[in-house]
């Protein structure tokens, strides 16, 4: 059960962007598992990808095609990651691009492929290639929710959202995005898969800069289980159907803020829908030497199995939090400056347990579906906030049965 998360009732269409979905029975029949996004000729596309050294075949192909700068379509499949599949996997990704291009009247390098699902298995290529005619014939601007559902794997809830931005001079742009992810989440760049589209007319370098600026406090600030996928990708598209926007315009800051806010919503929805999650936890670290140090401490705590299982149990075993902080890769750490609180309940001050702390107060906070673990290092002005989930019996079950 996702933590305070429901599927969107509507995702606003973006002028110039059309989606279609189809069923190829990639992992099992009975659900759409392919999606195709088609963009107009003038569109700009930017992307960030996994830092996993064993990046999947579709990531490698997408990176090469994106570098050519002529992207017109994205093809996505769920149920099979096409990762760890060697030269055959690269050939399969290329074949999907070629088939999409043939149906759409494009060159193969104008298509970016994306896959998510089981690692180490070849794609059921024949069944997938047979769906491209259907995909090409059913494209629609209002198929965003269908696409959000088609890219799901262990997700329990489709993830998507929209923003509208006034950029001045009476002009307005829209942004819509979808994402998927539930486990194998510590992106180091993005999430498992996310696609955000705006109707603005933006030059590719500016769009790339905006996307990278949005990552730090969104997809790069989440963790479910500390595992970085082989397939992570976050793609931003500007269809060029709307107003011209550049870094020199007064509306640029508002666009980047809206992009960041939408990306943050999508990223947090992944944590809320983390495999087996029963808690949505904010880790707010302040008083660090710099932001990078604050992030190191936050992720060290977020990745501690002992902290995460205590969160699942609702057990205010703050010693686990303290121990995790202490093993973060921070030089010259001193416990006598550290303070810890659960929401409004202060537990540790300057390295000492507070005399007024009562375990029942801590337990009351940790019984909530959402709360903040606040950590003040007392070393400087650096700060960072990340979001994580607990570690439950259900997480183990889901991943033990993932291929069955």
Between CA 218 and CA 234 the distance in angstroms is: 11
Q: Please, are residues 230 and 83 in contact by the beta-carbon 8 Å criterion?
A: yes
CA–CA distances in Å: residue 204 to residues 69, 211, 221, 245, 310? 8, 10, 25, 11, 45
- The burial of 374, by beta-carbon neighbours within 10 Å (0-12 exposed, 13-18 middle, 19 or more buried), is given as buried
Question: Which of helix, strand or coil describes residue 391?
Answer: coil
Question: Is there a catalytic annotation at residue 138?
Answer: no
Secondary element (H or E) of residue 399? helix 393-400
Between CA 350 and CA 377 the distance in angstroms is: 9
Between CA 268 and CA 194 the distance in angstroms is: 12
Between CA 264 and CA 151 the distance in angstroms is: 19
Secondary element (H or E) of residue 283? strand 280-288
Between CA 112 and CA 99 the distance in angstroms is: 12
CA–CA distances in Å: residue 248 to residues 213, 252, 253, 300? 16, 7, 10, 39
Residue 305 CB neighbour total at 10 angstroms: 12
Pairing of strands 222-223, 34-38: unpaired
| Catalytic residue from among 116, 153, 154, 191 | 191
CA–CA distances in Å: residue 333 to residues 285, 293, 328, 379, 383? 14, 11, 9, 9, 16
Q: What phi and psi, each to the nearest 5 degrees, are found at residue 362?
A: -65, -40
Contacts of 269 (CB under 8 A, 6+ apart): 5, 157, 159, 179
Residues in the chain: 404
Catalytic residues: 191
């Amino acid at each position: 059960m996702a933590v305070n998360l429901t599927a969107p009732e509507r995702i606003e269409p973006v002028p110039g962007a059309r989606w279609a979905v189809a069923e190829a029975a990639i992992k099992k029949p009975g659900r759409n598992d392919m999606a195709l996004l088609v963009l107009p000729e003038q569109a700009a596309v930017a992307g960030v990808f996994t830092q996993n050294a064993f990046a999947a075949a579709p990531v490698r192909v997408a990176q090469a095609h994106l570098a050519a700068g002529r992207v017109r379509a994205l093809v996505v499949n769920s149920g099979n990651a096409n990762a760890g599949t060697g030269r055959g996997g690269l050939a399969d990704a290329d074949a999907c691009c070629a088939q999409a291009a043939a149906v759409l009247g494009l060159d193969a390098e104008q298509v970016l492929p994306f896959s998510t699902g089981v690692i180490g298995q070849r794609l059921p290529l024949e069944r997938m290639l047979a769906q491209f005619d259907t995909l090409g014939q059913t494209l629609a601007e209002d198929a965003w929710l269908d696409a959000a559902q088609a890219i799901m794997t262990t997700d329990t809830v489709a993830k998507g959202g929209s923003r509208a931005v006034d950029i001045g001079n009476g002009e307005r742009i829209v942004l819509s995005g979808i994402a998927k992810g539930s486990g194998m989440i510590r992106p180091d760049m993005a999430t498992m898969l996310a696609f955000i589209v705006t109707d603005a007319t933006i030059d590719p370098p500016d769009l790339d800069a905006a996307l990278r600026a949005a990552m730090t406090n969104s997809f790069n600030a989440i963790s479910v289980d500390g595992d970085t996928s082989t397939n992570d990708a976050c793609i931003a598209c500007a269809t060029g159907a709307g107003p011209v926007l550049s870094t020199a315009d007064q509306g640029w800051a508002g666009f980047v803020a809206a992009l960041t806010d939408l990306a943050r919503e999508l990223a947090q929805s992944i944590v809320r829908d983390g495999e087996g999650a029963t808690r949505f936890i904010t880790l707010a670290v302040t008083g660090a030497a710099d932001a990078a140090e604050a992030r190191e401490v936050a992720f060290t705590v977020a990745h501690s199995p002992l902290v995460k299982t205590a969160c699942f149990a609702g057990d205010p075993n703050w010693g686990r939090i303290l121990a995790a902080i202490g093993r973060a890769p921070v030089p010259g750490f001193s416990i006598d400056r550290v303070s810890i609180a659960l929401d409004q309940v202060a537990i540790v001050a300057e390295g000492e347990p507070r005399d007024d702390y009562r375990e029942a107060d801590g337990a009351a906070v940790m019984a909530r579906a959402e709360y903040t673990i606040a950590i003040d290092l007392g070393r400087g002005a650096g700060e960072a906030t990340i979001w994580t989930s607990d570690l439950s019996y259900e997480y183990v079950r889901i991943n033990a049965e993932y291929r069955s």
